A and B are shown apart, each in its own frame.
Chain A
Amino acid sequence: MSDTATIPLWDAIGALIDLGESPPVNANGDPILEQADPQIPGRRWPRFHRGVARNNSKGSAPPPGYFLLGMVNLTPAGGYNGETGEDGTVTVHCWAATPDDAERLYRWLHGLLHDQPIAVSGFGHPFGNLSKSGPTPDASGTAWQVIAVYTVDPEDA
């Protein structure tokens, strides 16, 4: 695997996910994202992870119900830098225990990000568009993801 790097766009999307109100709930009305960490009383799993999602104590993945921020599509010039005319794409993997919950995570994310201004430090407020693929199961069939593709419109950056 290639190394990933934190870039302003990741930070901006992560901040929005962190602050997003009315977090998504499943068909029973239970929260999909807000899960307690059984190993550390009082601690909750974060809503999103950057590039890699691991339970450090055991090396396993957290329980499904999180966003995993993906790679930026690199340009020959070295990747998204938020400057006018530069486009950039970030994938946000919506992992949940069922296909329906993964769809609900995506819909919540869509309301948060699609066609909304996003503050990328030092580069103004570009708008982004969200599209999706999935849901698809993981190799074990115990978790499902919808892949959200967030594309910054170079005309808006």
Chain B
Amino acid sequence: MPDHKVSPIEALPPASRAYGEIGPRSDKPRWGLVIDQERCIGCWSCAVICKSENDVPLGGWWNRILTDGDALDQPRSERGGLEMDWLPLACLHCENAPCVKVCPVGATYYRDDGLVMMDNDRCIGCRYCMIACPYGVRTFNWGRPERPTPHETGMVEARPVGTVEKCTMCVHRLAEDQVPSCVWSCPAQARVFGDLNHPTGRLATLARQSKVLLEGLGTKPSVTYLPPRRKREL
């Protein structure tokens, strides 16, 4: 085994590294994500790479793709026909996050860039946050992690058992100017990441056209959705 270890970002081939760069941002970024539901094909690539990147054990998913339909990948009857859309759902990193408010030990908190974080060393496993979250995106790690591989995988350390886990927006990647892994790996190019505070940036532009999930709750998520386009019959 070589003793010399390197950052997986620094070890990227140049073309790959350039692909993943976050791009222009303001002096004080607030990270956001827009998901294009027209482009989303429900393939779960974003969810699978999340599981791999973050070493999420069997039984847990930080990121899932809901079918707006009767069952997984099954359409709904609507307007005399069939329709189906997908809704990728992970932590929406709300500006007004119910989970932060209910945490009795301050284990859930805001970063300066607006991301909602978990401090798993503080978490006491009470799971109030899971009940408070209106989007159901938090998971609880019940026991010793089980994996299909005999070894730990991914790019972050495993969390202490008996704590709540969720999407971190891959902060460990942001630190090296790389987009979250779900954004990198979306084959349909349905996910756009960037700085909501950079007014002329692509992300901010798209965010203005996008819709907020359960807007009436006033959670102000940093992750929003571009709804499916209107179809044009023959």
Do A and B pair up? The answer is no
